């Protein structure tokens, strides 16, 4: 910790009156300790994210350089434990953040109940621990509750999934919701399924939509062909069909139908070329005709008859 902190006259006269008091405290504590955001937050009994916001403010003013303490690395979500916030920390958060107040009020309406301390702690962790913006957390709540999932444990699992997939904006959240509601459901319906997909099925569907970038009607057609060919909802079989279509540059149902017609015409042509010449039908044998039948030359018989008449 530094023994002395030097402040310029310009900082005292211009910045101190304009800056939020908490930001001033963060700036002074950062100069004094040179610690991480977590260490500064602990000294000030504040949240780490608020310290980071303050740092951004002072960096924008040019009073903190990039060499100043930086945000710690994001924890590995699978192994990290969700932090628990005390009633005092939640009270400080609500006092300082109007957006968090709105989030809690919105959550109460969507969940249809008064939030418990654990509920509020979990919602705060989505923002403070997972790094999801508050507007994204609101979309998360709307998505889960609209599908009948009001349990906080389920909502936490979805929040973890969004954080791991890097969903950090409203646009990304809306795209994710549309993909699952419109995309996944219609694909499963094409397979004749009316259920939630399992993890491996989700992986296939994400590949078709995000990696292959194929239209949904083309994906559904591949699923329907799969069921007709295999008699079951085989995602691996459908993936082979779609991979071939992607490699062929097919991007529409019309293109699929054109390729099917071309294939059928080529197959018919090859079949006609390879077909052997028809053989002359032989007389049918039965118990009345069980000998080799004679083949008569009627022209020759008439000639022989004329010669015989001339002799007479």
Confidence of residue 77 (pLDDT cuts 50, 70, 90): very low
Domain count, the chain: 3
198 in the same domain as 255: yes
Q: What are the tens digits of pLDDT across the range 133-146?
A: 999 999 999 999 98
pLDDT of residue 283: 56
103 in the same domain as 39: no
Rounded CA gap, 98 and 277, in Å?
Answer: 88
% residues pLDDT > 70 (the chain): 81
What is the average pLDDT across 198-213?
90
Average pLDDT, the chain: 83
Rounded CA gap, 51 and 127, in Å?
Answer: 14
162 in the same domain as 105: yes
55 in the same domain as 99: no
Q: What are the tens digits of pLDDT across the range 240-269?
A: 999 999 999 999 999 999 988 988 888 888
Asked if the structure places residue 286 within a domain, the reply is no
Do residues 125 and 93 make contact, with C-beta atoms less than 8 angstroms apart?
no
User: Between 37 and 30, whose confidence is greater?
Assistant: 30
Task: Name the residue among 188, 179, 185, 263 with its Cα closest to residue 224.
Answer: 188
pLDDT of residue 70: 41
Structural domain boundaries enclosing 218: 192-271
Asked if the structure places residue 73 within a domain, the reply is no
Asked if the structure places residue 298 within a domain, the reply is no
User: Between 277 and 163, whose confidence is greater?
Assistant: 163
Q: What is the CATH number of the domain that holds 256?
A: 1.10.10
254 in the same domain as 210: yes
160 in the same domain as 197: no
User: Between 213 and 289, whose confidence is greater?
Assistant: 213
Tell me which of 20, 38, 61 is where a domain ends.
Answer: 61
Asked if the structure places residue 222 within a domain, the reply is yes
Q: What are the tens digits of pLDDT across the range 85-120?
A: 999 899 988 888 999 999 999 999 999 999 999 999
Close Cβ partners of 279 (under 8 Å, ≥ 6 residues apart): none
Do residues 238 and 222 make contact, with C-beta atoms less than 8 angstroms apart?
yes
CB count within 10 Å of CB 29 equals 21
% residues pLDDT > 90 (the chain): 44
Among 88-102, 207-221, 296-310, name the one with the lowest average pLDDT. Answer: 296-310
Rounded CA gap, 205 and 142, in Å?
Answer: 23
Task: Name the residue among 70, 88, 75, 67 with its Cα closest to residue 128.
Answer: 75
pLDDT of residue 10: 83
Asked if the structure places residue 306 within a domain, the reply is no
pLDDT of residue 278: 60
Rounded CA gap, 46 and 26, in Å?
Answer: 10
Asked if the structure places residue 218 within a domain, the reply is yes
Asked if the structure places residue 82 within a domain, the reply is no
Confidence of residue 76 (pLDDT cuts 50, 70, 90): very low
Asked if the structure places residue 182 within a domain, the reply is no
- Torsion-angle region of 131 (φ positive above 0: left; ψ -120 to 50: alpha; else: beta): left
């Amino acid at each position: 910790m530094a023994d002395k902190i030097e402040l310029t006259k310009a900082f005292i006269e211009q910045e101190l009156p304009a800056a939020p008091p908490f930001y001033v405290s963060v700036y002074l504590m950062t100069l004094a300790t040179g610690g991480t955001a977590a260490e500064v937050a602990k000294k000030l009994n504040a949240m780490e994210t608020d310290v980071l916001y303050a740092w951004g403010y002072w960096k924008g003013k040019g009073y903190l350089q990039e060499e100043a303490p930086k945000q710690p690395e994001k924890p590995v979500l699978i192994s990290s434990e969700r932090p628990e916030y005390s009633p005092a920390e939640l009270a400080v958060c609500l006092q300082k953040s109007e957006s968090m107040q709105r989030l809690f009020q919105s959550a109460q309406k969507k969940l249809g109940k008064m939030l418990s301390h654990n509920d509020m702690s979990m919602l705060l962790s989505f923002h403070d621990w997972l790094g999801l913006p508050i507007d994204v957390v609101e979309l998360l709540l709307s998505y889960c509750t609209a599908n009948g999932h009001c349990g906080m444990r389920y909502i936490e699992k979805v929040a973890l999934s969004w954080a791991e997939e890097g969903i950090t904006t409203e646009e990304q959240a809306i795209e994710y919701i549309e993909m699952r509601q419109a995309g996944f459901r219609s694909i499963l319906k094409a397979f004749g399924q009316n259920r939630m997909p399992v993890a491996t099925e989700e992986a296939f569907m994400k590949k078709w939509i995000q990696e292959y970038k194929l239209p949904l009607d083309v994906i559904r057609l591949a699923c329907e062909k799969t069921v007709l060919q295999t008699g079951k909802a085989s995602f691996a079989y459908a993936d082979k069909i779609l991979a071939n279509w992607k490699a062929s540059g097919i991007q529409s149902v019309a293109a699929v139908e054109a390729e099917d017609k071309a294939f059928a015409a080529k197959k018919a042509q090859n079949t006609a070329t390879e077909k052997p010449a028809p053989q002359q039908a032989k007389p049918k044998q039965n118990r009345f005709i069980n000998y080799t039948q004679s083949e008569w030359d009627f022209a020759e018989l008439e000639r022989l008859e004329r010669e015989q008449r001339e002799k007479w």
